[in-house]
Structure 1
């Protein structure tokens, strides 16, 4: 909502209790102009949003025939029986406008309670996001009308610094640039810096953010990987595509996570060729060609092993670049020399063959794996941009 220029004044979380839901809706209706409610639109007894909204607005519930037909069509097209309880999702407060759900069975709706316009959306994240983007935000924009202040936000994504250090680097932006507000968000394993502003025109708001962005960019330096809120894997993909380059991966400790992240990006088949999950040493030798002598002398978690893994998968795939990750994600398996959180990353390319060692202290296996994969992608980003690797 804030990225769409809507100032969010308050967040409420309410359990599945009808009396409390009604009270909160009435209270919000008395003080707010706009409210978005998510969840509680399903077919079960604890899905109470429509009933609570009707009581708060002082109206009854009515069945919408068009909504019911859409729900029935959803099930029929999938050759699935429709449970009678699902019919509940076609009940709405009298006078509500229906918001269709193109990817699920629970429609949303909008109505006024007190002086506030409410938008009720499903709680399923991908359903909610699509309906918010396609139906709610355009309606909010129309409701705000002409003469409103234009609110804008810009998101800078960073990797390699803690939230506190990142905050210290950009803390002075509000004092230097009038009307610009700073926000920080830890979105593991990256940190996002957000700049907010509002102005009488969209051009004025954009110009204000452009000026502040120059200073923020200089303060963040090479840890900044996106100024548009893009994930690291999308940034790396764009860089590869721009060079008509291809990528392969050899994964041990990340277990396919690198491949998963890369293929989350639509069109990644343009540049991503393959990933080999070589977890056992025998696979590292047999598939990737890692030397048995290297494994005996250095072990599986070592810069030299990572280099040979990267070189091997690059050769197997015929790729321009290759990444390799071998490490100790935990919770066990660490030693004094190689504690849990240690990862060695190999990077092979037309003019490079590197091995780097990093250590993360997150303590949880899933977090370490995510950090390992992000670090590998960041090394490739830096190589493609000619930046120091930081290893």
Structure 2
């Protein structure tokens, strides 16, 4: 029996040694042993390449403003492990996490000795979340973010009220496939029989796969630009503004505080999800709740300002599409600034396409690395770049601190980007340093 939080989290993280093992057999075995918690809860399922976390946040806040108690299951975490399983934005307590781990551990060890083999870290956390929302802290609805892909992801044991698929691009190609169609096939695997699905996927190859799967499952399909639409009104220092229309009605002006045109896509998908919940499943979601929920939504680590003087922004742009969104947001909101960038990434990313894009948009780029199994050494990233003003350092803390101290001009901005795991460490470090300096 685990008695402390550290023991529980240590055991969960130890499951990472089993790696990623796509397939639902282990989850189905666990669900049977746990008396099928996945059948006791109402859910929304969110898949896609980028924007899943933001979409979950927008929809969660909309539902919360409408008076519902909303569970969320997300990954990876930015501030603390517990936030992966949350209710109305409040992470699972240490005590409940210990309780859940003690319940799942004997089953995980039993499963390890079957033909299915040991459950992975993500499978264990997914099972814990289902037990939590079904039996320990029941809620009105849970929004589940897919961990990887969709079809064989451990979250795919749920049958949701609504399925949402964000944009589809190139990421995790070593697992999901090397073409957009192959990747879309995995994402579209969350589509269930008769369950309405909405998507902001735009690439023809991706849409064709989603359309085929929806038709096969007789799932009503709502496509951006077809069954629902949205249009940017403009952006300013308060955020982005857009119009939205669907078969259920229209909104002349919706506003979000998250920066970047790509966030309009995520917000629009969340609005479409809310409309489907409202009109098909009879959720009471008044317009004021929808508007306020969007405006209150924040997603840490996504073009997030950490410091004002000097201006320091972090953004978890960890694949080519994420880099494109970051560049577009910088073009809009950092026009006229001298952009200094610190970048670190994992080895399974398309770095040959990502780094050259950053080369063209920064005045300086510094490559670094961090303590993580798949993190790339700084010098290897440096060699991919052709920037005239590039450098590298294997010590990310020293690099971040030195750059912040060096920057003095009002036109200078430091953008720290790359792996979400890296961003998580940087965010905690900078905010900790800032608090200490403020106290001295």
- TM-score for the superposition, normalised by structure 2: 0.29
- Higher relative contact order, chain-length normalized (CA < 8 Å, sep 6+): 2
Which structure's CA Rg is the greater one? Answer: 1
- TM-score for the superposition, normalised by structure 1: 0.32
